Structure 1
Amino acid sequence: MASIQTSPLFSSNRVNASFHVTKLPRANFSVPRKPTSDVVQELKLRGSVPFMSATNNTTQLHNSLYNSSNSTTNIKLYSILEVVADRVEMHKNVGEQRDNWNNLLLNNINMITLSAATLTAIAATFGYEGAPLLPLKISSSLLFSAATAMLLIMNKIQPSQLAEEQRIATKLFRMLQSEIQTTIAIGNPTEEDVNGFTEKVLALDKSYPLPLLGVMLEKFPAKYEPAVWWPDTKFQFEGKSKTANHGMMEKNNGWSEELEIEMREVIQVIKRKDMEDYERLGNIAIKVNKSLAIAGPLLTGVAAIGSGFVGNGSVVSDIVPVMAASMAAVINALEHGGQVGMVFEMYRNCGGFFKLLEETIESTLEEKDVEKRENGKVFEMKMALRLGRSVSQLRQLASKSASCRTQGIHIDEFASKLF
């Protein structure tokens, strides 16, 4: 309790105050002591210290994994996976860079060509009035010459085709990356897996090189050839003799004689329809691209020479350089703006896709021991999905192919429904 006593305001100038605070009771707190070794030992004997046993189990599991035979193989696969991930980024960045080359070179060359054509037209217009034309002639000739040189280089390297090569390489390396991750996730990898993935990486590096000088792919080959980005796979064949009592092949590992006949019919359709069609389109793309690559620099060269004769009183000498420059700009836009080189590379990649399917099916069927093959049902499903079909549609295609071949007519359907 607290009481305050005050005197009257006019009788005293002081205020007397006194406080009485009630004392709180004393509280005793006990600090926990560190358990002795006897208590810990007792808890351990009773099994009341679970973290100790869990730590021991984790250590034993880690040691068993570290000492397992697959640990080295997994480390190698992860190392290859890191390399593949690096390749993906490299090809992606280079592809974007070369796509920028195509856009920048196309715009700059066309701008230079049209500027030179404008100067030539101005010189031709004022030539009849006796104005000095030498500065205009020199400027237009230099611009046409620069456009011709740049166009020769651009047509030689084909930036649109270079960009498409890197896009395809990026896609293939990503597929390889997913394949390695799947192999690790399934478990039990072998040294054959490591060697196989290593060969695939090296084959992709060879098929889609990054440098331009020395190892650049031929942009104007003599004829169309499908792209090949997989290593040469060597299969070991072990023949198994058939007894006379077996009229049909034994069904094993998902394989049957009907399935093998179906796969052979699919190969025939791929060869007769898909691969032939892309070979025809690829050869057309080569001829068109080669013609445009020759015509563009030729026209700018004619314009460079003709611009020196502008203003001499001849209508032909005034019209020819301007028309040649205009046609060169159109052809350049058609070739590189339309990305004819990219279209040709796309045809090469599609042809390589069908060639890979053909070799995969043939090499699988050549393996006599069905136990060494991939499971037949899984293999059939994978082939169907790669062709954009269901399993039932793939079987219908094989039946239709066999029927058409028996009747001596060509099948009117392509194997792939994707492209």
Structure 2
Amino acid sequence: MSILQAPIFLYSMGPFSSCSCRRSIRATANAPKTQMSPLFIPTIFSRGLAEELEKDHNSVINLNTCKRQSTNPPEALVVAKFYAIMEAVADRVEMHKNIGAQRDNWNHLLLTSINSITLSAAIMAGLAAIGGTGTPLVALKVSSTLLYLAATVILVVMNKIQPSQLGEEQRNAARLFKQLYREMQTTMSLYKLTNIDVINEAMEKVLALDKAYPLPLLGAMIEKFPKTVEPTVWWPPKRQRRLERLGEEIDGNGWDGKLEEEMREIVGVLKRKDVVEYLRLSQKALKVNKILAISGPLLTGLAALGSCFLGTTHGAWAVMLAVIAGALASVVNTLEHGGKVGMVFEMYRSNAGFFRLMQEIIESNISLREERTENYLR
């Protein structure tokens, strides 16, 4: 029974309790004291990622800092830094998840509000044309004009930030940070962390993800209507380096010639078909989104102009412009933000980035074998 309780006791003490001066476990039975080596640290993470990240952030790693002593082994300091990065990654997962839900709410609330304002303004313009005279006509005319102007301003801001696209960005970021967290868990479980390069590589991945999917809007928001469509890049540049596994250095990628030929064919297919196809779909979605983003404020602006001329000599044309343009604006807004065209554009662009990442990984592994062959010939 004491043996089964040992891992639970270690987990309750925190990840770094093994690097302190006490490294023994007291059992209820009369058993000898067991010395725990630093290699026991990776067994802490026996639970799955779903159990650790989906429980209201209470399951995020509890990082307990320990005093730096001269008796601590060098790998203990590397492990401490690695745990600090893991806690930052887990925190990023929760932040992107919450902000993604918030920006989805923006899309629904703003779309409902703008359509309500636009349709109310159109009804007021119609009522003013039916029987409005004197003071009622002025009140309906001014109210309709103000509502159309307010809808135009809000719609310009909404089309600029594209809340549906922002929500898709945050969902992608949360998914990729979860993937990075699992990779770091695997690294802790399989390898002995003694090299500072592991810390640098993890930090590069975190910074690349932060750059690809920023949290704030002002000053850091990704351009929603770029001139040229490029695949989303959320990974650091690949570096040619020697692989280190369990203390043994391995040159090359371990592939034979036949497998490399197949991998080259796959790279060619990715370049010619997959990446190109998703970029083409991204351009189409972007073009449709641009047309809808311009048409919506233009129609509400024309409707506001028509409301200004209600009750004048051009009253018939004014009321038609105010009512029809307002109705069309509601349809356009529903197609753009209800259909989430911005989210579709971001989805296609991120898919193109995924195939670009596959291409770079395969090319990097092939170049490792070529570099090994050149060194052998020399």
The answer to whether the superposition gives a TM-score over 0.5 is: yes
Per the TM alignment, residue 370 of structure 1 is displaced from its structure 2 partner at its CA by 8.3
8 Å contact kept, 2:145–2:308: yes
Q: Does 1:156 align with 2:160?
A: yes
* 3-state SS, counterpart of residue 369 of structure 2: coil
Aligned to 2:137: 133
AA at the equivalent of 2:305: I
Aligned-residue CA RMSD (Å): 2.5
Matches within 5 A, 1:78-157: 78-127=83-132, 132-157=136-161
Q: Return the letter of the residue paired with 2:170.
A: Q
Is residue 175 from structure 1 mapped to residue 153 from structure 2 by the alignment? Answer: no
Residue deviations 1:315-354 (CA, integer Å, cap 9, x gap): 2222111000000000001000000010111111101100
- Hey, what's the Cα distance between the residues in 1 that align with 2:336 and 2:227? 19
Asked if 1 retains the 8 angstrom alpha-carbon contact of 2:300 and 2:326, the reply is: yes
- Note the C-alpha offset of 1:67: 4.1
Secondary structure of the structure 2 residue equivalent to 1:367: helix
Q: Which residue of 2 aligns with 1:54?
A: 32
Distance 2:97 2:39 in 1: 40
- Taking structure 1 as reference, are residues 64 and 208 closer, same or farther at Cα in structure 2, changes over 3 Å only? closer
Q: How far apart, in 1, do the equivalents of 2:181 and 2:351 lie? A: 21
Matches of 1:63 and 1:107, distance apart in 2: 57
- Identify unmatched segments of 5+ residues in structure 1: 1-49, 238-251, 373-419
SS in 1 for 2:312: coil
- SS of the residue aligned with 2:198? helix
Checking the alignment, whether the CA contact within 8 Å between 2:39 and 2:192 is kept in structure 1 is no
1:306-385 equivalences under 5 Å are 306-312=306-312, 314-368=315-369
Is the CA contact 2:225–2:290 (under 8 Å) kept in the aligned structure 1?
A: yes
Find the aligned partners of 1:212 and 1:167 in 2 and give their Cα distance. 16
Once the two structures are TM-superposed, the CA of residue 371 in structure 1 deviates from its matched residue by: 8.0
TM-score of the aligned structures, taking structure 1 as reference length: 0.69
Q: Say which SS state the counterpart of residue 32 (structure 2) adopts.
A: helix
The unaligned stretches of length 5 or more in structure 2 are 1-27, 42-70, 243-251, 374-378
* Residues 320, 92 of structure 1: alpha-carbon distance in 2 compared, 3 angstrom cutoff: same
User: How far is the alpha carbon of 1:272 from its aligned partner?
Assistant: 1.0
Structure 1 CA distance for aligned equivalents of residues 300 and 179 of structure 2: 44
| One-letter identity of the residue aligned with 2:344 | V
Q: Is the counterpart of residue 279 in structure 1 residue 279 in structure 2?
A: yes
What letter matches 2:343 in structure 1? M
| Of 186-195 and 141-150, the range deviating more from structure 2 | 186-195
| Equivalent-residue separation in structure 1 for 2:318 and 2:40 (angstroms) | 87
Counterpart position of 2:296:
296
Change (3 A) 1:62 1:293: closer
Q: For 1:145, give the aligned amino acid.
A: L
1:174-323 map, 5 Å: 174-189=178-193, 190-236=195-241, 254-312=254-312, 314-323=315-324
Contact 1:84 1:173 in 2 (8 A): yes
Instruction: Identify the residue that residue 245 of structure 1 maps to in structure 2.
Output: none
Find the aligned partners of 1:367 and 1:187 in 2 and give their Cα distance.
22
CA drift at 1:232: 1.3
Give the 3 Å change call, closer, same or farther, for CA 307–54 of structure 1 in structure 2. Answer: same
Decide whether aligned partners of structure 1 residues 125 and 205 sit closer, same or farther in structure 2, where only a CA change above 3 A counts: same
- Asked if the contact 1:102–1:160 (Cα under 8 Å) also holds between the matched residues in 2, the reply is yes
- CA distance change for structure 1 residues 370 and 72 in 2, over 3 Å: closer, same or farther? farther
Aligned to 1:133, the other structure's residue is in SS state helix
**Higher mean C-alpha deviation, range 313-322 or range 289-298:** 313-322
Deviation (angstroms), 1:179: 0.4
**1: CA distance, partners of 2:226 / 2:168:** 17
Q: In 2, distance between residues paired with 1:229 and 1:131?
A: 60
* Matched-pair contact (CA < 8 Å) for 1:299–1:328: yes
Q: Percent identity?
A: 53
The letter for the 2-side match of 1:134 is V
Per-residue CA shift, 1:133-160, capped at 9, x if unaligned?
1000000000000000000000000000
Deviation at residue 260 of structure 1 after TM alignment: 0.4
- Shift, 1:132, TM fit: 4.2
Match of 2:55 in 1: none
**Counterpart of 1:336 in 2: which secondary structure?**
helix
Q: 1:367 to 1:287 in 2, by over 3 A?
A: same
Aligned amino acid, residue 289 of structure 2: N
Query: Tell me, what secondary structure is at the counterpart of 2:226?
Result: coil
Bigger Rg, which one: 1
Q: Which secondary structure state, in structure 2, belongs to the residue aligned with residue 155 of structure 1?
A: helix
Query: What code does the residue aligned with 1:292 have?
Result: L
Deviation of 1:259 after TM superposition, in Å, equals 0.4
- 1:255–1:370 contact (8 Å) kept in structure 2: no
Distance 2:300 2:40 in 1: 73
Question: CA–CA distance in 1 between the matches of 2:204 and 2:37?
Answer: 33
Report deviation, 1:54. 1.7
Give the letter for the 1:214 counterpart: G
CA distance in 2, matches of 1:61, 1:203: 34
In the alignment of these two chains, the number of paired residues is 307
